Structure 1
Amino acid sequence: MKTTIPQTTRTLGIATVAALGLSMSACTYDAADLRDYVAEVKSRPGGDIEDFPRPEGAELIPEISQSSDPFKSFLVDELNNTAAPVDPDVPPWPPRNLEELERYALDSLRMVGTLDQQSEQWGLIKGPDGVIHRVKAGNFMGKNYGKVLEVTERRIHLLERVSDGRGEWLDRDAEISLSE
């Protein structure tokens, strides 16, 4: 039984072999001209390099200023300046049962809308589990004891109480804006 190879397959095979041979010929390493150039550059006599001209009228004077220390954290200063210390013997808020949204970090909660019900503004919050919760002024949310102070159409304003690591509570403003 005689097998025949179609003309297009044969032409394609020949073209592939020719292209492979041509590309392999480009891989030869003939760097004689590069070696000659490097030898010529190395044989040049060395010389002194002239100084870069200084601009006239410019004088370098080291300046010691009273600016902030670059190695000191600015976050500590910011926390100390913006937060008011709270009595360490007082718990963050009066004893109460924790609300559902206090199980989640504030940044994992999303405001998805508002609801006006009986002349009271409610915020609609979507938790990380996908459930939508209603909150109003006086409710709590977030792991930092965030108390809802105000609910508007575009945002929910909270007051969080966080520990400063030294046994004191600090008040900090936070907000959740309406997700677009």
Structure 2
Amino acid sequence: MVRSDGSGQLMVSYLVGQELRKELSSPASGNVALRERVFLTENDLRAQYEGEGVKVEQVIFEEKEEQLRVSYTIAFDTITNFLTTKALAKEDISFYPDKNGNLAFQWDIRRLKQLLKESKSGGDFSLKFTLVLPGKIMESNADQIEKNSLFWNFRADKLFPDILTATCEGKGLIFLSQLPQEGKKVKSMSFVYDPTGKADPFKPFILEAKRSKEIMEKSLQPLQRYELSQLKLVGIIWNIDNPRALIEDAAGKGYIVTRGTFIGKNGGRVADILPGEIIVIEESPDIFGEVTKREIKIKLHIGEEEREVK
């Protein structure tokens, strides 16, 4: 979370599998750079983050099913103090005003990806990174966006971007003038490929992934192709045994929905249809396997929509 005065919090959670823990715990592994990014103890975490105007809070290190579950929050009084901590001083991470006066964020994570790839057990790791910006989100490559909250989820079996990016509205952000006037330059990186025990790099796995995605998208219902914010509730038939509602998509086409209908890109289902609104429930598991339910109320009056997480 970044507040309008430049203070804020960073929330991070991740799982480290048994094999990667053994590797990082062994001084002989030589993977010092990865150990400085994947913390196995609270002391290591605090040594990398604590400093002037920066505190480590809500720390959890616990064993769960042969995995180490880690979560923590970094509270900071200014973005500058946050970025000069030992942990982030070595990272290519930037907050800066863009040409339109908005707050821009970028984080080049190619080094982390390379370190995990070079690790013998780098696939034994998953991470959830949460960033809350102080204004309306203009654009981002986050996996999930909820109002001004951004969520990136990293797994070994998932292709994720080299650079995390986001831009939020800069109106009223008094700290913008104190930031660098441009982001850090994206550096070129060279990689040496070791084919030992690895799949053929020329195998068209990206094409296969694209084909699988296309097949999955074809099986979706029409209303599952839209964000809920793109849909309008334009009519309700309520006083019958099986209430129905009329939903209009972004193209102006109408669809009848009942209880149980899938709706929205996040796997939501219509849970109830009431006289003036419908209630949609979305369920999303985090990296720890815990399911979060979100209740979204879409009101009959066009342009009015409430979102409430329960």
TM-score (norm 2): 0.26
Structure number with larger C-alpha Rg: 1
Q: Which has the higher contact order (CA 8 A, sep 6+)?
A: 1
TM-score (norm 1): 0.43
By percentage of residues, which structure has more helix? Answer: 1
